[in-house]
Structure 1
Amino acid sequence: MIIISIILFCSCAKTNEKVEEQKEAEKKGQYPLTIVDSYNREVIIESEPKRVVSIAPNITETIFALGAGEKLVGRTDYCDYPEKVKSIASIGSLMEPNIEKIVALKPDLVVASTHFKEDVLNKLEELNVKVIVLYGEESFEGAYAIIGKLGKVLNAQEASEKIISSMKDQVKNVIDKVKNAERPEVYYVVSYGAGGDYTAGEGTFIDKMINLAGGKNAARDTTGWKYSLEKLIEKDPDILICSKYYDAKKGIMNTNGYKDLTAVKEGRLFEIDNNLLDRQGPRLADGLYELAKIIHPELFK
């Protein structure tokens, strides 16, 4: 029994030692690193990646924010920020990336996020392409987790910690500013008219963002995204917010039902860069700030 206990003790000690070594390696940016990705796969990063392909706009934005933009050799058609990313080769869409183009770029690492299909992952792995999938829950904590892991993978942990700290400060600043303010009813327009009426229902991340920004989500009486125009007209919210792209504001102002809402007639239909709210990346705190500025302009002069 004594011998068995000694063996078990030694085994546990070695395991603990290995875990501590791995933690220390991550702190120092040493490789190899073992990262558990969002598919719950243990991915071993043997050395610092020098050639990276991003298959998500939020990943692309984070890579640049980390100061590692020079490593990026491929991105999707939807990766449009920062401006300099447009000079980098595209590998197609998020859900249907071009496998041949990815392989031709000879990446050390492919980083994917939401909307990434498992069959694409399997094809890339069959071709010996290293892939890591990073996405988190739809929250600031989820965004921090992505930024933190990507910082470790790209040997930019110090930069990732600064980004996360700055984001937390900005979020706290917004929450502190609006905490005693009255909360107007806010309706976020995802889609309208012939395409169907869609908004951000209760429990969505945008619903949470509206609350953090000092508003009340007018669509909190539903879950998911579908909404009815009849309900919206009945609610007649204080503020409408839409994307600044696709002439959304102009369209809403000329669409039956919407054009007769008090907020639209009285000039309380506002535009926002929806990428600041939709992408789990370093600009998410900026999105909260812009949202709060729309809802409470008097507090953000």
Structure 2
Amino acid sequence: MRRWLLALLLALTAWPILAVTVTDDRGVAVDLREPPRRIVSLLPSLGETVCALGACDRLVGVDDYANWPASVRSLPRVGGVDDPRIERIVGLQPDLVLLSSTSRALGRLQALGLPVMGFDIKTLGDVRRVLSRVADALQVGGADAAWRRIDAGVAAAARSVPPAQHGVSVYFEVSAGPYAASESSHIGEILARLGAVNVVPGHLGTVPLLNPEFVVRADPQVIMVAQRDAAALAARPGWPRIRAMREGRVCRFTAEQGDVIARPGPRLADAAQLLADCLAGRLQGDRP
């Protein structure tokens, strides 16, 4: 009996402690009794982060815009930041929901007893932090390695930009409005590492709504825009006078390329290379 009790004590001592507490970007400590196996993501970048950490098979539902990697395209769709389908989320019986810290779904899902983690991802530092927090929640490794791949990829993209293009002024339009990526956004931070000068200052916010006249006065040398919005630029008052328009330095990103650049997640090395290709004149519509 004594030997049996000793063996039991040793077994209990050696048993792994699976419960973890992870603090999200709201400052809320989320208790997870065991590694989550059924995860719902309500942001494309968060779903991509789960997959980059080798846990794609744990996703059981994604937002309406998730499309990478290809395996997530067949998963149930549960809405987005502003229009989450709560009943469908609950029906998937998730043991963790990942979403924006500003999502209106947070309180409703918490009230229904679901573990939720809210994140605010706007900068490269945010991407690194979220990789680490999500890895902690999933109880997997790989966050540091994933960040090193991103950082090294951005550095490689920077080396591919010709020195003659360093210091070029750039305007990056996120969507018509116009909404632009400022110096303080993840796109702005990547542009800075590539040696470009963003004409939209960071103090306006990460993705501010601009008066179109602001861009005319800034007179950027390069314009980066979604392919779907490019044709309308010339109709904006004063825009044909902008240097980038006159010299044909307008990079038109496809919807797929736009997703890579706009989503602050694990594919930012690819995003940096797309931006570098634009600066170097390797994209359609850019003639330096």
TM > 0.5: yes
Shifted more, 177-186 versus 77-86: the winner is 177-186
Change (3 A) 1:124 1:234: closer
1:238 equivalent in structure 2: 221
Q: Give the length in aligned residue pairs.
A: 262
Deviation at residue 155 of structure 1 after TM alignment: 3.0
Residue 294 of structure 1 pairs with residue 278 of structure 2: yes
User: Which moved further from structure 2: 105-114 or 219-228?
Assistant: 219-228
Match of 2:60 in 1: 73
Residue aligned with 2:60, SS: strand
Instruction: Provide the secondary structure at the position in 1 that maps to 2:231.
Output: helix
Residue ranges of structure 1 left out of the alignment (5+ in a row)? 1-24
The correspondence of residues 2-17 of structure 1 with structure 2, limited to 5 A, is none
Please say if residues 251 and 278 of structure 2, whose CA atoms lie closer than 8 Å, have aligned partners that are also in contact.
Answer: yes
The partner residue of 2:83 within 71, 76, 96 is: 96
Deviations 1:214-250 (A, max 9, x none): 2111233972423333343344321110024xx1122
- Answer yes or no: is the 8 Å Cα contact 1:202–1:223 preserved in 2: no
Instruction: Work out whether 1:211 is the aligned partner of 2:192.
Output: yes
Q: What residue in structure 2 maps to residue 60 of structure 1? A: 47
Structure 2 CA distance for aligned equivalents of residues 263 and 140 of structure 1: 27
Deviation at 1:254, TM superposition (A): 5.0
Q: Which residue of 1 aligns with 2:116?
A: 131
**Counterparts of 1:221 and 1:125, CA distance in 2:** 34
Q: Are 2:25 and 1:41 aligned?
A: no
* SS of corresponding position for 2:232: helix
Query: Gaps (5+ residues) in structure 2?
Result: 1-13, 283-288
Deviations 1:179-202 (CA, angstroms, capped at 9, x unpaired): 95531111112345xxx4332344
Q: CA shift at 1:46, angstroms? A: 1.0
Taking every aligned residue pair, what percent have the same amino acid on both sides? 27
Q: Deviations over 1:118-147 (max 9, x none)?
A: xx32322222211122334x3222101111
- Kept in 2, the 8 Å contact 1:79–1:85? The answer is yes
The root-mean-square deviation of aligned C-alpha atoms, in Å, is: 2.7
1:227 aligns with 2:210: yes
Alignment of 1:153-168 (within 5 A): 153-157=137-141, 159-168=142-151
Conservation of the 8 A alpha-carbon contact between 1:214 and 1:295: no
